[in-house]
Structure 1
């Protein structure tokens, strides 16, 4: 699904456009000057559906790599499958540790399976070759530390054609919505500070991990979330 000249939405499940497996986060293809990047990798379930959309969107462009916003399975479970095809996978240091080890406890997967968030029997495949940004070339992308939803959460900024895009993962969704942190390592006050960093980065476009991309006036959506904190209440949950 072409969003503009620089970005395609190539994956997304029940909480998105329904382009790939129901358990997938949104997955974006970002077009840089010398190749394309994926933001998040989906759950890894029915991955061939996602890969077919990636190949269609790529055309003749090389796929330079994929970045992970955090290690929750809907965003990072597909990393191993992409790495097996030769795609470099890059993530913040803590996310990289979690994805390499694939231990369902620290990943929060045990609790998620008990809650019925993923199908019975789902397993998170280890991705031992995931790189950290200090050991990899991020090309046109920049890290933006964004803990809160989880301690390892990172957003990524991408600038092309004079537009700055923020791949926000589960930090922020359209209309200032957030997912109220439920993970053991979640921190609401860290989430607020991450929103402030996002505001200060002044993105034009928000590419959230679920729901509708925001293609203009991104600052309004960030301010809606921050205003809710200032009024003494958390923003409404995405779900």
Structure 2
């Protein structure tokens, strides 16, 4: 179902972005607006422009982050500077954000950027937020990230799912890459979504969708496969990390690709263990070859890669 056909209340607007930036969800109240997630830093000019257009002169009162991955929080600092808005984050990431620990916040392990921002309050799981004239329950959504939350409007049957469920898949299960039980948490999150039976899902990436049951079935099947083939999950994670960096840079040398792989290995020991005995350079070449076969990159004669022509 196309975006403009998905039934949403007039107080809610989805700014669908590409895969470098998460979607932004705007919720309008009488005194101003709230934005859920803010995209990646290199696309911040577009983020500011799109949000200002949607605000149409209304004040932006607050930012709510579902989690602090760089593609969901990279616009926080710029929006704070422009609108002097408050920022609410999940409690599981508050200590790392307060000390700006870029390892625990995932920015160094993923070779990604996020300008430092302040936070003003916490969005605790099972608490209720009143946004856009509706009550939204904060729900735990571990799996992709230990601290991630979703927002659920029971009256409207709308779920803001972040990276727990997309129409086709879900985000990398990053806890597994450091040796934590992320697959089990992701299974519990998918079961929680199934119990809710949402009418509409607004994902962190991609258009809102109403075909929720098929998306859940596909996600559950994919999760079962990844649990049984952890090396495939490792391959998926590396392809995502390299693809993300390429979308940011548009062109990467062979050594830059190897740098992304080495950084991931250095700070994500369970991922490195999946490739025990293999050099990062060889793994990087395999990642590039896989991406090239799918048309996700263009190979250069010098061994580097370019983003596909748009």
TM-score tier by shorter-chain length is 0.7 to 0.9
CA RMSD of aligned residues (A): 3.0
Deviation of 1:11 after TM superposition, in Å, equals 5.3
Deviation of 1:66 after TM superposition, in Å, equals 1.8
Match of 1:59 among 48, 56, 59: 56
Partner of 2:17: 12
- Post-superposition CA distance 1:56-101 (Å, at most 9, x none): 1122544332211111111112222223322121111013333333
Whether 1:170 and 2:169 are equivalent positions in the alignment is no
- Post-superposition CA distance 1:96-118 (Å, at most 9, x none): 333333221111111211xxxx4
TM-score, scaled relative to structure 2: 0.60
Match of 2:117 among 127, 138, 153: 127
Q: Which runs of 5+ in 2 are unaligned?
A: 228-232, 241-310
Deviation of 1:46 after TM superposition, in Å, equals 4.0
Whether 1:150 and 2:171 are equivalent positions in the alignment is no
Query: Which one has a larger percent helix, Structure 1 or Structure 2?
Result: 2
TM-score, scaled relative to structure 1: 0.76
> Residues 108 and 98 of structure 1: is their aligned pair in 2 closer, same or farther, counting only changes over 3 Å?
same
Q: Which runs of 5+ in 1 are unaligned?
A: 16-22
CA distance in 1, matches of 2:31, 2:139: 22
Deviation of 1:50 after TM superposition, in Å, equals 1.0
Structure 2 counterparts to residues 45-124 of structure 1, below 5 A:
45-84=42-81, 85-113=83-111, 118=112, 122=113, 124=114
- Checking the alignment, whether the CA contact within 8 Å between 1:164 and 1:205 is kept in structure 2 is yes
- Checking the alignment, whether the CA contact within 8 Å between 2:128 and 2:138 is kept in structure 1 is no
> Residues 39 and 111 of structure 1: is their aligned pair in 2 closer, same or farther, counting only changes over 3 Å?
same
